[in-house]
Amino acid sequence: MPNYLDEATSMGAAMAGAVGVGVVDNFKEAKKWVKRVGIHHPQPDIQEQYQEFFSVFNETYEQLKPVYQNLKVFN
**How confident is the model over 39-56, as pLDDT tens digits?**
888 888 998 898 899 999
CA 69 to chain centre: 22
Percent of the chain with pLDDT over 90: 40
pLDDT value of position 2: 62
For residue 75, pLDDT beyond 80: no
Is residue 5 a contact partner of residue 39, using CB atoms and an 8 Å limit?
no
- With 0.75 as the threshold, say if the pTM is over it: no
Sequence-distant (6+) residues with CB within 8 A of 12 are 30
- Residue 11 CB-density burial (10 A; 0-12 exposed, 13-18 middle, 19+ buried): middle
What is the Cα Rg of the chain in Å? 18
